[in-house]
């Protein structure tokens, strides 16, 4: 397995920068995800690694070799497309063997590796079917087998689950992860689905407007987002506009809410630089840390404006007259508030942090 490095990659179309100054270093066997809203440049990045799009500037290295100028068919990258892109005039086995055939792998080895790949995705009995006779999930498993059978330096996944329904998507997630881990395949995955990114990746690079905002493990990204964009894109986050009134240390602040009755709150932790006394910023906390009641030090009151039942929990939306809606989770067995009820929300100071205001 080789490492893949993107060095200061830029791509501009006319005056429009689609990708700017992207640096990613994918270690051998690592599963890295490019995550972001549509149009953020993540697919363009992937297509540059595949060789379908030439970067305007920067370098791409695979296994230490500069492949920036290499055409797609001379790079050793295996790609899985959102539209499956299975060859309709070839059987499943022929599809999988295609890459080996054009690489002039001998007949014996070709058959053997094709059978192996079919076994890997558990489609042995479908070898002689045509793609039109397969379900969406089976098609994508064939596409996966076809991409890995050539033993690529890097596996490229372009929203491979986008066309599937939820149940299949979860199955395929596990399948892809299993195959990737079995083969210890260096992988670059593109998605706009934060759930997929969180559950599959070793590291996630969150992209916005062509640039990488934060690269971190799923856990770090969720617990310590470095901007309100990341905090909002990965899961749900309560963002409260505040002003710093006192600073005990670089990671311990007292702030006063702009609205929400001017509540005074404590925040421990910040991952987005330093904050000065008097500075306006955002206090962020996840709904799962916010409880109804007054158990914890940070408290804010409001009335319940909405109740959203999600099966395993209720998501309670609480609104102050002037503020933005804040969310708290209420679990089965706890008191379920009614709409319009005036409630207190509270959370631990250790469970919230400060973020710079969006400029």
Partner 1 sequence: MTNRHILTAILIAALIFLLAPIVVVMVASFNGGAVMSFPPAFLTTRWYHEIKPIFYQAIWVSLLVATGSATFSVLIGVPAALALCRGRFPGRDLLSSLCLSPLMVPTLVTGVALYQCSLVFWDFTGITIGGTLFGIILGHLTFGLPFVIRAVIAGHARFDRALEEAAQNLGASPLKTFRLITIPILRPSIASGAAFAFTMSFDDVPIALFMGGGDGATTLPVQIYTNVQYDLSGDVMAVASLVVVVSLVVITLLNRLAGSDLFFGAKQ
**309 is an interface residue for partner 1 by CB under 8 A:** no
Q: By CB under 8 A, which span of 61-69, 80-88, 245-253, 272-280 interacts with partner 1?
A: 80-88
Q: Is position 337 an interface residue for partner 1 (rule: CB under 8 A)?
A: no
Is residue 190 part of the contact set for partner 1 (CB under 8 A)? no
CA dist 87 and 94 (Å) reads: 9
Q: Which is nearer to partner 1, 52 or 331 (CB)?
A: 52
- Pairing outcome for strands 16-26 and 65-66: unpaired
Q: Is residue 150 a contact residue for partner 1 (CB under 8 A)?
A: yes
Residues 46-65, one symbol each (x = binds partner 1 by CB under 8 A, - = not), give: ----xxx-------------
* Diameter of the chain measured on Cα atoms: 76
Q: Examine residue 146 and tell whether it contacts partner 1 (CB under 8 A).
A: yes
Q: Classify the C-alpha dihedral 79-83-86-87 as positive or negative.
A: negative
SS3 state of residue 123: coil
Half-sphere exposure of 258 (CA within 13 A, CB side): 15
- Between 102 and 297, name the residue whose CB sits nearer to partner 1: 102
Q: Of 4-43, which residues contact partner 1 (CB under 8 A)?
A: none
Among 89, 108, 321, 359, contact with partner 1 (rule: CB under 8 A): 89
CA 61/CA 77 separation, integer angstroms: 12
The HSE-up count of residue 28 (CA atoms within 13 Å, CB side) is 6
**By the rule CB under 8 A, 119 interacts with partner 1:** no
> Shortest gap between Cβ of 103 and partner 1 (angstroms)?
5
240, 191, 203, 244: which is closest to 82 by C-alpha? 191
The answer to whether 102 contacts partner 1 (rule: CB under 8 A) is yes
Nearer residue to partner 1 within complex by CB, 132 or 338: 132
Cα–Cα distance list, 107 to 19, 96, 101, 121 (Å): 42, 13, 8, 21
Q: Min. distance of Cβ 54 from partner 1 in angstroms?
A: 14
Among 36, 55, 58, 78, binds partner 1 (CB under 8 A): 78
**Interaction between residue 338 and partner 1 (CB under 8 A):** no
CA distances from 145 to 14, 124, 152, 320 (A): 38, 11, 11, 53
Contact flag: residue 71 with partner 1 (CB under 8 A): yes
Position 109 contacts partner 1 (CB under 8 A): no
Q: Would you count residue 117 as binding partner 1 (CB under 8 A)?
A: no
Distance CA 233, CA 95 (A): 37
239 binds partner 1 (CB under 8 A): no
Check residue 183 for interaction with partner 1 (CB under 8 A). no
Q: Is 56 left (phi over 0), alpha (psi -120 to 50) or beta?
A: alpha
160 versus 302: smaller Cβ distance to partner 1: 160
Please give the backbone phi and psi of residue 14, each rounded to the nearest 5 degrees, phi first: 65, -120
The position carrying tokens 């399948």 is 175
88 binds partner 1 (CB under 8 A): yes
72 contributes a contact to partner 1 by CB under 8 A: yes
Minimum gap (Å) between residue 193 Cβ and partner 1 = 20
Structural contact between residues 251 and 269, judged by C-beta atoms closer than 8 angstroms:
yes
In sequence order, the β-bridge partners of residue 32 are 188, 203
> Out of 99, 137, 287, 349, which residue is the one contacting partner 1 (CB under 8 A)?
99
Residue with tokens 């702009």: 258
Which pair of tokens denotes residue 284?
């962020």
In eight-state DSSP terms, residue 38 is T
Give the count of residues interacting with partner 1 (CB under 8 A).
27
Q: Whole-angstrom Cα distance, residue 31 to residue 166? A: 22
Among 34-42, 57-65, 71-79, 241-249, the segment contacting partner 1 (CB under 8 A): 71-79
Among 5, 22, 81, 234, binds partner 1 (CB under 8 A): 81
Report the interface residues with partner 1, using CB under 8 A: 50-52, 71-74, 76-79, 81, 83, 85-89, 98-99, 102-103, 132, 146-147, 150, 156
């Amino acid at each position: 397995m080789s490492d893949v490095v993107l060095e200061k990659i830029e791509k501009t179309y006319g005056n429009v920068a689609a990708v700017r100054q992207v640096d990613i270093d994918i270690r051998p066997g690592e599963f890295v995800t490019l995550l972001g809203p549509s149009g953020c440049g993540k697919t363009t990045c992937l297509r540059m690694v595949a060789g379908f799009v030439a970067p305007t500037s920067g370098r791409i290295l695979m296994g230490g070799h500069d492949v920036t100028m290499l055409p797609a068919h001379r790079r050793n990258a295996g790609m899985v497309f959102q539209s499956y892109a299975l060859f309709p005039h070839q059987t499943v086995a022929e599809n999988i063997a295609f890459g080996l055939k054009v690489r002039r792998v001998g007949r014996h080895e070709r058959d053997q590796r094709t059978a192996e790949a079919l076994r890997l995705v558990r489609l042995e009995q479908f070898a002689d079917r045509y793609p039109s006779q397969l379900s969406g999930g089976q098609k994508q498993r064939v596409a996966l087998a076809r991409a890995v059978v050539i033993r690529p330096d890097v596996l490229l996944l372009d929203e491979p689950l986008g066309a599937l329904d939820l149940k299949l998507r979860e199955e395929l997630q596990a399948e892809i992860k299993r195959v990737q881990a079995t083969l210890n395949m260096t992988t670059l995955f593109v998605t706009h689905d934060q759930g997929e990114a969180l559950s599959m990746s070793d590291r996630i690079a969150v992209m916005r407007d062509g640039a990488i905002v934060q690269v971190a493990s799923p856990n770090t990204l969720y617990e310590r987002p470095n901007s309100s964009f990341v905090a909002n894109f990965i899961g749900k986050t309560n963002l409260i506009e505040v002003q710093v009134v006192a600073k005990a240390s670089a990671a311990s602040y007292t702030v006063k809410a702009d609205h929400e009755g001017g509540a005074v709150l404590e925040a421990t932790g910040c991952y987005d630089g330093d904050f000065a006394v008097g500075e306006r910023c955002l206090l962020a906390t996840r709904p799962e840390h916010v409880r109804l009641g007054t158990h914890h030090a940070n408290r804010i009151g409001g009335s319940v404006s909405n109740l959203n039942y999600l099966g395993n929990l209720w998501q309670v939306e609480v609104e102050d007259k002037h503020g933005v809606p804040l969310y708290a989770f209420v679990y089965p067995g706890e008191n379920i508030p009614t709409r319009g009820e005036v409630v207190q929300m509270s959370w631990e100071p250790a469970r919230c942090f400060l973020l710079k205001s969006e400029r």
